[in-house]
Chains A and B, each alone.
Chain A
């Protein structure tokens, strides 16, 4: 068997995996990454110097046997992973667990923004489009929502004002992100421009243009930072259950969960979803079935960008209360979230949560141990890499003719006649 055969066979196995198998693979990947990470932590703990070892590798000495070896390490891998996962959730195993605590809020806050970004990327993927531009769409949506809220909020006050400015803010974010994403959609449909390249470039353009606008036209004159004015207090997303300073609202997470359901319904139960999936899976068959591929591409891009735009709006309105340049890379993380979820809207929820945990847990680890933040980031990266790779190769295999042929052949019992 040639190397190519072997690779194709492996990928075919992955492509044909059932949902349960994929879940098991993800779990196994998670443990594998922890194993590798442990080795890294121990190695790093040997290289650095410290006065007292936090972790000692030895063996029990029953019956007064002599101790053969005893190695001390500066960093304790058990503590690191304990803080990374349990710490992020506010210590659910300890007696005084507050599910609405600060750390939990931070975790869910990250989860929420990534949920929108991941959902946006997933929609595009399902339509056979690689939307690398979620970041740009998110940035544009973010600024648009803040500007809209700054306009609308002073007009209406009170609870009604909160409702109005929030709806307007989210709508503005969705609209701006959607329109911005429609650009690569039109370029792909009508002038055959590769969306990977155009969306990457549009990310830079978004950052540049938004930076210019803020600096020159809508800058908060009282601040040295490149940022807009802060939105009025009553326009903030109300924090229910959680303390206000945590900057997290269950409401926003609720919107995200609703959209997960909505996108799932759209894909599985509507004619538009059928158009979109068919285009993504088999463009020739879509064309045969009367699907207008050009319009479907633009619409899918628009929807994808709108979701990312809402993510941007939530980031600006809920977390910052204003727009500031230097938006974290939620859009890029969204790509990984989507791949991690196998581009399934329901899976995006779980994947976004894992990301949220890792992001917030990293802070806890930095606080609780001497492990350098760079090492913590490496550990996070390892986990994401390990968990995402099987899905990534699945995605890749699904697009390789040789692999799909193998999958189909195995399913059809070696039927190749004709």
Chain B
């Protein structure tokens, strides 16, 4: 078979950091190729080179046998390459057709007006050819995330893409939608298209790809056929050492309730009810997990508990007191630690160095501040401790927070919050974008915290994560808690169904929401 894409010895250097070091990638036409690697391995950088966003410092880009130099994505698109970014580049109020044809609309009246009818017909034809069930006239806001992703794919195809690059395409999807996406992959490759997708999930690479190229620390480690490898060997290639994929289930003894949420309702920024009459409790020595597809009210719920958003109704009892109207600072002082969902917006101040970011939230605490004066020496020691204990790289407290990779920022934040010695630990997506090694580490710490008798509220859209860690597990959908279950009693498929809003199976419904659990 012909090679659709051949990246030959690509090196990409940023200032003094090498993001890609002599990486070679060969993708056969009509195949699905997974680019697998931990966070910061250089996967996205490599694809940005192929898509013309970066110019390589060294190396050749060969597309369909011809060497190309891309000055911008426009050049790459012209060469038949399309990229679907992790965050969709779509316009919400527009229709599917308008989004797909945006910038390339068929014209009429000598180019003066958009020929909407032709546009619609073309989009429908395209959608039908690949078996996408997409309504060309639906507005974007009215379709699911999975469909929006297909709109992105159609947009690339409409622009004449033969090779599609997808950056972490499954991150925002439910298990069912992931299945559908992989079916779409098959349809596309059957029609001769080539697919490269970026992922850090082993299972997905094994399932969907024909070939897998593993990147580690900016270097291409190996390219293997998916049918001839195992999860274990892939994990080892990614991390560079052996990895325990399962965390042992340790016995534990939950104690009294530390957090009790009762009938809480919260509105989002637009004033729409995002959390509707939710009740649950977290006990000492217990990890309470909340699973769900992003955007079903988890963020608002967590913000209400941690004091960043005022609930419109309900009680939040923390250690026996109703804290629903307490300020954020009072809640921190009372022993609530919080790993926020959006680390770069909230978790650290990007232009602060680690010493400064390390005392965020405790900068009025007497540990660091006496009579309003911050003791920067103590703060520096504190930051070095976090950096050392939680293996933050580079291990230099004078580094600006912004200069850390996402995974290392997350390790730093998680470390800082653990060091608070909290009685309740609220973690929103604590391992999102974090590599396997660090994920393992963070999971261990969460279990340690539980074993020490602290309460943990874990919100995650990764099903395997909540299933692995949680002692009791709730699924959130459309602002409501659908069911509270023992995670060992349910399958991923059953949970996936509940996540999409299906009624939970009868046997799952039997437990009370604030009830006994495991």
Contacts and interface: CB of A to CB of B under 8 A. Distances in A.
A217 interface: no
Interface in B357-396: 359-361, 363-364, 369, 372-374, 376
A407 B402 CA distance: 9
Given A269-B374, A414-B14, A418-B432, A292 B329 contact: yes
Contact of A410 (B15, B340, B372, B433): B15
Interface string A396-415: 00000000100111111111
A271 B369 contact: yes
B111 to A, nearest CB: 22
A245 interface: no
A414 to B, nearest CB: 4
A269 B363 CA distance: 11
B327 A418 contact: no
A1 interface: yes
Contacts of A284: 342, 345-346
A290 B40 contact: no
B436 to A, nearest CB: 13
Contacts of B361: 288-290
B347 interface: yes
A383 to B, nearest CB: 30
Interface stretch (A73-81, A174-182, A188-196, A274-282): A274-282
Contacts of B350: 281-282, 404, 408
A174 B169 CA distance: 58
Contacts of A289: 360-361, 363
B330 to A, nearest CB: 8
B45 A416 contact: yes
B433 A418 contact: yes
Contacts of B345: 282, 284-285
B348 A418 contact: no
Contacts of B305: none
Contact of B406 (A282, A410, A418): A418
B374 A285 contact: no
B363 A411 contact: no
A94 interface: no
Interface in A347-387: none
Contacts of B376: 269
B352 to A, nearest CB: 7
Contacts, number: 130
B44 A416 contact: yes
Contact of A413 (B14, B39, B168): B14
Interface residues of B, number: 61
B48 A287 contact: no
A410 B308 contact: no
Contact of A285 (B54, B72, B349): B349
A404 B349 CA distance: 13
Contacts of A151: none
B374 A287 contact: no
Contact of B39 (A1, A288, A418): A418
Nearest to B410: A418
B372 to A, nearest CB: 5
A413 B15 contact: yes
B14 A274 contact: no
Contacts of A222: none
Contacts of B331: 290
Contacts of A410: 14-15
A309 B392 CA distance: 47
A417 B406 contact: yes
Contacts of A242: none
Contact of B308 (A271, A287, A292, A418): A287
Contacts of A404: 350
A268 B146 CA distance: 48
Given A285-B349, A413-B14, A272 B360 contact: no
A281 B352 contact: yes
A288 B43 contact: no
B243 interface: no
A270 interface: yes
A286 B340 CA distance: 13
B17 interface: yes
B328 interface: yes
B328 A287 contact: yes
Nearest to A265: B373
A413 B374 contact: no
B93 interface: no
B403 interface: yes
A291 B42 CA distance: 36
Given A272-B372, A411-B403, A414-B12, A288 B308 contact: yes
B19 A290 contact: no
A268 B131 CA distance: 61
Contacts of A48: none
B60 interface: no
A386 B308 CA distance: 43
B404 interface: yes
A155 to B, nearest CB: 35
Nearest to B363: A274
Interface string B10-40: 0010111111000000000000000000011
Contacts of A291: 329
Contacts of B198: 417
B14 A278 contact: no
B351 interface: yes
B273 interface: no
B313 interface: no
Contacts of A274: 356, 359, 363, 374
B197 to A, nearest CB: 13
Contacts of B342: 284
Contact of A408 (B16, B328, B402): B402
Interface string B315-353: 000000000000111011100001010100111111110
A284 B299 CA distance: 14
B432 A287 contact: no
Given A414-B19, A415-B19, A288 B41 contact: no
A269 B308 CA distance: 26
Contacts of A407: 402
A51 interface: no
A287 B346 contact: yes
B443 interface: no
A2 interface: yes
B167 to A, nearest CB: 9
Contact of B40 (A292, A411, A415): A415
A396 to B, nearest CB: 16
A288 B327 CA distance: 11
Given A412-B14, A414-B14, 9 more contacts: A284-B342, A285-B345, A291-B329, A408-B402, A413-B405, A414-B48, A416-B45, A416-B48, A417-B200
Report the 10 A-B pairs with minimum CB-CB distance, sorted nearest first: A413-B17, A418-B433, A290-B329, A288-B346, A414-B19, A289-B360, A411-B403, A415-B405, A408-B402, A289-B361
Interface of B: 12, 14-19, 39-45, 48, 54, 71-72, 168, 198, 200, 307-308, 327-329, 331-333, 338, 340, 342, 345-352, 356, 359-361, 363-364, 369, 372-374, 376, 400, 402-407, 432-434
10 contacts: A271-B373, A281-B352, A285-B348, A290-B329, A292-B329, A404-B350, A409-B14, A413-B18, A415-B40, A417-B45
